[in-house]
Structure 1
Amino acid sequence: MALIVEYELRTPVLATVETAPARIRLEEIYRTDADRLKLLFWATGEGLESLRDALADDPNVASVSLLDDADERRLYSVVMTEEAEEGFTYPVAAEHDVVLLEAVVTDSTVVRARAPNRTALFSYREECANRGIELRLKRIYREDDWTTDRYGITNRQWEALEAALEAGYFEVPRGTTLSELATELGISDQALSARLRRGQANLLEHTIRESGPDMKG
């Protein structure tokens, strides 16, 4: 069973975030035709106005482009220098089949990733240490228990709720039956019923209970 791991990294890469306080949420990492690492990320926060100049002055950054300006957040494309790649763990992660799912950068980098097993995860951490990169584990849990951070709903609960909604299961009259939906998802009726109940409970817990009523009457 694959693992979901959350860990904190401290590297000199994108250190400008400290001088131009902003929150960076990584969207994608890939290589350019010139074999350079390119990052696509959304930036938010108080330092948003000064971030582009700070990135342009960063010795780790070869080029920076603003792709989208959406009010309080901006989408940037940044190509890293060849020297900066030594501070990136992305290639090391790929070698150990560790898949980066999300990264949030403030004064440090917090990553959520998928690892095939603990052996691969600890080999990845050891290789980071060999490169002088500190990797501090925060949480490790099974993929089945991974919540999407969308109202506390797990991936499988989200999948069940979405399929039920699209198939008209919550409509009156119902557009499909529990058995039909379970067959479509390849699980038993009992498993689907449990996922729907737990998913709806999590949804209500993170919406109605947390927000409370706006008015009474």
Structure 2
Amino acid sequence: MIGEIQLSHPRLVLMGTIRSAPESTIETAWYPLLSPDRWIGFYHVTVSNDDFGGFEAALATDETVVDSESVATVARGRIYRVALSSDALLIMPELVDRGGGLIGARTADDGWLVRVQLPDRQAFVAFRRSCIDRGVDFRTERLYNADDLTTAEVGLTEPQRRLLLAAYEAGYFEEPRGITLEELGRQLGISSTAAGGRLRRAMRRLVEAQFSELGAHER
């Protein structure tokens, strides 16, 4: 299972830099490594005004960073090696503990947009709960099976997508159900009737997209 998640917290990796240098775009270049005493991250950085001095000044005052250096110049920016402080809030250990891993991450809005892989829904829900328990603002953007990328985007409206994700995460499609329509509606601030209608429309759109895809393959 693959999840695309928006995360924000003052102590997430490089959050001070993200907020102090908003003209910079940061992406994971390689998976973070655990050295004998701390995590090391490698990040691909681009700066809209090409002023890396401002980005490096922000790094120097970032409380999640112990040390950093530019290790390579690439076509669209630079690669930085960053030694993370013990105060940095990391999601990597939580993923590994649940049999998952980090696919990639990039800065977005006031935080990180990350892609993670986990073995199943239960592991995803447990990972989400661990983040929320630590005060992380956790917003699921997309959730899909690794072998079902063709139906990841099927033209759902934003309210339909959020309702489906909320229902899935809360166990609405399990037997027995983990949440009722009334509870789901209250969670989203809508009536149970509105939740039921929105859910039916979303499910119909998913079915239409799936059978359209199957039909295309059969032809």
Common topology (TM > 0.5): yes
- Whole-Å separation in 2 of the counterparts to 1:59 and 1:44: 21
- Match for residue 92 of structure 2? 90
1:46 is aligned to 2:81: no
SS at match of 1:144: coil
Q: Distance in 1 between matches of 2:118 and 2:149?
A: 13
Aligned letter for 1:94? Answer: V
Distance, in Å, in 1 between the alignment partners of 2:107 and 2:99 is 22
Query: Do the aligned partners of 1:4 and 1:146 also contact (CA within 8 Å) in 2?
Result: no
Q: Which residue of 2 aligns with 1:115?
A: 118
1:125 lines up with 2:128 in the alignment: yes
Q: Secondary structure at the match of 1:132?
A: coil
1:67 alignment partner in structure 2: 71
Aligned to 1:139: 142
Q: Deviations over 1:15-47 (max 9, x none)?
A: 21221121111022011122x011101001326
Is 2:20 aligned against 1:19?
yes
Q: Distance in 2 between matches of 1:77 and 1:5?
A: 26
In 2, the alpha carbon distance for the partners of 1:18 and 1:63 equals: 18
TM-score (norm 1): 0.62
2:82 is paired with a residue whose SS is strand
SS in 2 for 1:143: coil
**Take 2:128 and 2:139, find their aligned partners in 1: how far apart are those partners?**
9
Within 2, Cα distance between the matches of 1:125 and 1:43?
A: 27
Q: How does 1:188-199 map to 2 (within 5 A)?
A: none
SS of 2:96's equivalent in the other structure is helix
Match of 1:186 in 2: none
SS, match of residue 143 in structure 2: strand
Match of 2:8 among 7, 10, 16: 10
Deviation at 1:55, TM superposition (A): 0.4
Displacement of 1:70 after TM fit? 2.3
- The number of aligned residues is 145
Residues 99-152 of structure 1: CA distance to partner in whole angstroms, max 9, x if unpaired? Answer: 1101011431001111100000000110111111122111111111237xxxxx
Computed over aligned residues only, the root mean square deviation of the Cα atoms, in angstroms, reads 2.0
Counterpart position of 1:208: none
Contact 2:98–2:127, Cα closer than 8 Å, also in 1: yes
The superposition leaves residues 146-198 of structure 1 with CA deviations (integer Å, 9 ceiling, x where unpaired) of 37xxxxxxxxxxxxxxxxxxxxxxxxxxxxxxxxxxxxxxxxxxxxxxxxx98
Structure-1 residue corresponding to 2:59: 55
Matched letter for residue 53 of structure 1? A
Query: Which aligned segments of 4 or more residues in structure 1 are displaced greater than 4 angstroms?
Result: none
Structure 2 unaligned spans of 5+:
151-215
Q: Percent identity among equivalent residues? A: 27
SS of the residue aligned with 1:9? strand
Paired with 2:40 and 2:122, the residues of 1 have a C-alpha distance of 29
Shift of 1:71: 4.7
**The 10-residue stretch of structure 1 (18-27 or 110-119) with the greater mean CA deviation from structure 2:** 18-27
Secondary structure (helix, strand or coil) at the match of 2:48 reads coil
CA distance in 1, matches of 2:9, 2:81: 19
Q: TM-score, normalised by structure 2?
A: 0.61
User: 1:70/1:128 Cα in 2 relative to 1: closer, same or farther (>3 Å)?
Assistant: same
User: Separation in 1 of the partners of 2:117 and 2:2?
Assistant: 5
